Structure formats: C-alpha cells, structure tokens
Amino acid sequence: MEKFLVDAHCHLARKELQCRVDAIIREALENNVKIMIVSVQNEVELHNGLRLHEKYPLSIFLTLGQDLTDFTTDMVSRAEKLLCRLVSEGIVVGIGEIGLDYGRVRDPILRGIAKSIFERWLEVAKKLDLPVIVHSRRAHREVIELLRSHGLKRVVLHAFYGGTEAAKRAVDEGFFFSIPPSIVHSKQKQKLVKVVPLDQVLLESDSPELGPEYGAESRPVHVKLVAKKISEIVGTSEDDVIIQTTENALKVFKLRHYVYTSSS
C-alpha cells in the first residue's frame, strides 16, 4: 500500500469554511493527506458534509455527532433515523464528535442533560458497531467510565486535554488518541504522546481550530506537522509515524476497503 496521511478529525463542513473548502481539500490532497474524516454536528453541516462526500467520495467521510452546547435531542433522533442508510453506503464511518465539556458547561442541570445525550449517542454507536470520536474537557474520569460501561471498543479521544494518569487509564482500555497540530507548541500534548503507544495514535487537524500556532487556523495539511513532531518526540522516523497512524485510522474507521478499491 502506498504511503499517505489521514486526518482523523476535522470540521470541513462548517458553514464559514464553505466558500474555500475546495481549496483546503485540494491543498491536503496535493500534500498526500488523502482521507479526511469530517465531523458533522448540526443540520447545516450534515447538508455540507454530504455534498463534500459526493464530490470527493474516496477522500471525505463523515462522522455524525452534535455540538456539545446543543442540549436538544434533535441530532441524535435524526441520526437514529438516517444512520442505517448512511453507514451501509459508506458515507458515515463513525459517531462524533460527542462528549462532555465541563469547561464550557457549568450548570449542573445542563451537565446532566449533556450526559444523557452523550449516553444516547453511545448507544447508537454500540448498536451500529461504529467508532466514537470523543471530546472531553474537565470530565475525563466520567467520560472514560461511560465509554467503558457502555462497552465501546473503538474509541478515539480527540485532542485529549487530560493528564498522564487519565491518559494511561484510557490507553489500558485500548482507546485511541488523535493528536492535533497544537502539539507543535502544547507541552501537554507533547507529554501525552510519550504515554500513548504509537499503535493507538491518530493524526487530526481539528480544522479550523487548534492550529500549529496560537490562534492560527488549522487545515488538514497540518497533520504532516503533527507526524513530524511526534516522530521527534518518540524518536522514530516520520515515515514510521505516518505508516502506523494511517494503519490505525483505517482500522478504527474500517476504511481499508475504500483504499483498496481506489488504488485498484
């Protein structure tokens, strides 16, 4: 199999990116970032995401989730109706992003609602045997415990903010970590990749957030910088990081089939 990179998590379906999303995708493809997993979190993004997949059927795949400050069950109800078809057609390859953000959500009642919505998404993922892309802020213990108790096996903790201890617990559960371009400057992310074995690491841009410089826009092409930085930290070649993280992503999202179809 030829060598290429996967952006395991980005928000290319965001409304504000649509006027230049083709240039962003083209830049990624020209730089060997061949697959981008686009997180869709509301109705407008679903519409945009489906259009992007139609235009780039071998490069753009979707995960379905909802904004972490959306306390309605609209998206999850919609997903329950739509997912069977979108999964069987190979358009949606996972659930996400979903999770708990106790940094942004402080009200105990709202936290309770967020938690019940999160659990409902986990049940959807379980039922359809889909991986989950999970956001967690100031809620690591609870998030890891919920993932474990719901029996989720294919879990990607995206842009994980937790400390070494929480990370180790998740590593023991076999969870994956997708690492954003902010690793270039973030000491916390640099520490994180020291405790996560390479066969549990994915690369992500989280585009347009978490760019390589403070406040800078992130784009899928930046996963190359993530691979380079990880290789420096763990002391292996950049090629090894690319090959292993792509292998991991194809495994998590069960994308091997599409890759072989496209190269044959």
Tell me which residues in 82-101 interact with Zn ion (CB under 5 A). 97
Q: Which one of the spans 25-33, 79-87, 88-96, 203-211 is the region binding Zn ion (CB under 5 A)? A: 203-211
CB-nearer residue toward Zn ion: 125 or 259: 125
Judged by beta carbon, residue 45 or residue 206, the one nearer Zn ion is 206
Residues numbered 146 to 165 that lie near Zn ion (CB under 5 A) are none
Q: Does 45 bind Zn ion (CB under 5 A)?
A: no
H or E stretch at 157: strand 155-158
CB of 216 to Zn ion, least distance (A): 16
Which residue, 81 or 214, has its beta carbon nearer to Zn ion?
Answer: 214
206 binds Zn ion (CB under 5 A): yes
Q: How many helices (H) and strands (E) does the chain have?
A: 10, 8
Provide Rg for the chain, Cα atoms.
17
The nearer residue to Zn ion, 209 or 247, going by C-beta atoms, is 209
Distance CA 97, CA 133 (A): 5
Asked whether position 7 contacts Zn ion by CB under 5 A, the answer is no
Whose Cβ is closer to Zn ion: residue 101's or residue 206's?
206
Gap between the Cα atoms of 4 and 149, Å rounded = 35
Q: What is the nearest approach in angstroms of Zn ion to the Cβ of residue 158?
A: 6
86-125: burial string, b at 16+ Cβ within 10 Å, e else: bbeeebbbbbbbbbbbbeebeeeeebeebbebbebbbebb
The residue among 140, 61, 56, 47 whose CA lies nearest residue 96 is: 61
Judged by CB under 5 A, which stretch of 26-34, 170-178, 198-206, 244-252 contacts Zn ion? 198-206
Cα gap 10→159, rounded to integer Å? 11
CB of 10 to Zn ion, least distance (A): 7
**Nearest approach, Cβ of residue 1 and Zn ion (Å):** 28
Nearer to Zn ion, 94 or 259 (CB): 94
If binding means CB under 5 A, how many residues of this protein chain bind Zn ion? 2
Nearer to Zn ion, 133 or 250 (CB): 133
**Greatest alpha-carbon span in the chain:** 53
- Tell me how far CA of residue 164 lies from CA of 67, 113, 171, in angstroms: 27, 28, 10
Asked if residues 183 and 226 have their Cβ atoms less than 8 Å apart, the reply is yes
User: Where on the chain is the footprint of Zn ion (CB under 5 A)?
Assistant: 97, 206
